[in-house]
């Protein structure tokens, strides 16, 4: 039995299509598996952040109850009861209880609390905010792939249930509680960009109102409305350096830094989340600096830990503090296949 050249060509094409389809299905199933793992990890992180907020809420309740004011004692009783319910609730009912707890915390007069407890409450609320964003980002990415027609037809998601968003009210304890008049509050996504020589790219800047005092900082800036942290990090990287990158290559956030500082005539409260990213060294060529950035960014430099220490010694502060000591941690994160656990730095 012989086959014509056309028949052989058709068979080869069919085989190629089958192999291609099988390869696509295999890689898609693996990607879905990784997305589900990421979603599960994000959910555990959110659960831990919510549990910590409940513990802090119980401490707030104890403090209020110790003031022996009948109204405050009743408020403390309700706050403690909601914290207990939040810790015991299953995930399906958790949204409702956590929103009730957030509402109860929002009416607490933080002027009645000791400064250390105010700081703990602010930190707990900020961690919930970050964890919820990352959880919902993971859910969004998983659903985007799981709901594609071919993925559904081929059941590539297996029997895993569809993840769901976790929607709770976001509230951050106002910095005014510390006596500061903060004009601007923003969340920033920053990138610790390391090259093949393990150097980090830093930008030199000045406050337009104080142009004689230079300082150095990592790539990054404020998150725009509707933007995820990763999208903001990649956008800022391109705008400030001209270097394009894929958000999937980012690792983190690995650090969280909260700072209050004056800049361009305003007092800014900035919550900064740092990602690590490995790249080859390149010449910085900003793609889209705004008016303030053109006035404030004056130079760029790839720096070793020794370079960073030298800049600090010369009086040109490098942010975040102790970056020369932190750089090894960022390098390890950039070279890892998984995201590290976020921790606070100065």
Per-residue pLDDT of 288-300, as tens digits, reads 888 888 888 999 9
**CATH class (in words) of the domain with range 184-344:** alpha beta
CATH of domain 5-154: 1.20.1440
Mean pLDDT over the full length of the chain: 84
Burial 48-60 (b: 16+ CB within 10 A, else e): ebbebbbebbbbb
Q: What element of type H or E holds 1? A: none
Q: In this predicted structure, what is the pLDDT of residue 54? A: 93
* Segments in 66-213 forming alpha helices (H): 70-88, 91-106, 115-146, 149-153
Q: Give, in order, the Cα–Cα distances in Å from 158 to each of 32, 43, 102, 121.
A: 9, 20, 36, 41
Per-residue pLDDT of 5-28, as tens digits, reads 777 777 778 888 888 778 878 888
* Segments in the chain forming alpha helices (H): 5-65, 70-88, 91-106, 115-146, 149-153, 229-241, 291-296, 305-313, 323-334
User: Is pLDDT above 50 for 340?
Assistant: yes
Band (pLDDT 50/70/90 cuts) for residue 148 is confident
CB of 114 within 8 A of CB of 181? no
Band (pLDDT 50/70/90 cuts) for residue 178 is very low
The span from the CA of 164 to the CA of 153, in Å, is: 21
Structural tokens at position 151: 């993925």
Q: What average pLDDT does the segment 84-96 reach? A: 85
Per-residue pLDDT of 101-133, as tens digits, reads 988 888 888 888 888 888 888 888 878 878 887
Q: In this predicted structure, what is the pLDDT of residue 281? A: 93
Judge if 5-154 and 184-344 fold alike in CATH terms.
Answer: no
Band (pLDDT 50/70/90 cuts) for residue 171 is low
Domain boundaries, the chain: 5-154, 184-344
CB of 164 within 8 A of CB of 39? no
The span from the CA of 8 to the CA of 2, in Å, is: 10
Per-residue pLDDT of 49-65, as tens digits, reads 899 999 999 999 999 99
The candidate with the shortest Cα–Cα distance to 277, out of 312, 251, 239, 240, is 251
């Amino acid at each position: 039995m012989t086959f014509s050249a056309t028949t052989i060509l058709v068979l080869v094409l069919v085989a190629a299509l089958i192999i291609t389809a099988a390869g696509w299905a295999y890689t898609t199933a693996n990607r879905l598996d990784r997305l589900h793992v990421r979603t599960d990890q994000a959910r555990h992180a959110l659960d831990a952040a919510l549990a910590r907020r409940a513990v802090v809420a119980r401490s707030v309740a104890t403090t209020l109850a110790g003031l022996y004011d009948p109204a405050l004692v009743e408020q403390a009783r309700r706050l403690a009861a909601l914290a207990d319910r939040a810790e015991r609730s299953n995930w399906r009912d958790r949204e409702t209880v956590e929103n009730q707890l957030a509402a109860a915390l929002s009416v607490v007069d933080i002027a009645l609390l000791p400064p250390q407890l105010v700081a703990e409450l602010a930190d707990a609320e900020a961690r919930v905010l970050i964890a919820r964003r990352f959880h919902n980002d993971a859910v969004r990415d998983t659903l985007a792939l799981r709901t594609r027609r071919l993925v559904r037809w081929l059941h590539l998601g297996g029997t895993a249930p569809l993840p769901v968003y976790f929607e709770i009210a976001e509230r951050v304890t106002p910095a005014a509680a510390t006596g500061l008049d903060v004009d601007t509050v923003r969340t920033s996504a920053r990138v610790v960009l390391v090259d093949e020589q393990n150097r980090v790219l830093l930008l030199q800047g000045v406050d337009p109102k104080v142009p004689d005092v230079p300082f150095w900082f990592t790539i990054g800036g404020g998150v725009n409305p509707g933007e995820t942290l990763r999208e903001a990090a990649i956008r800022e990287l391109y705008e400030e350096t001209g270097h394009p990158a894929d958000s999937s290559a980012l690792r983190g956030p690995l650090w969280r830094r909260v700072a209050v500082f004056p800049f361009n005539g305003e007092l800014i409260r900035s919550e900064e989340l740092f990602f690590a990213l490995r790249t080859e060294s390149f010449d910085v060529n900003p793609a889209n600096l705004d008016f303030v950035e053109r006035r404030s960014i004056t130079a760029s430099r790839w720096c070793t830990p020794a370079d960073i220490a030298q800049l600090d010694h010369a009086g040109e502060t490098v942010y975040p503090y102790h970056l020369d000591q932190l750089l090894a941690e960022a390098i390890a994160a950039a070279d890892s296949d998984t995201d590290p656990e976020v921790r606070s730095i100065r």
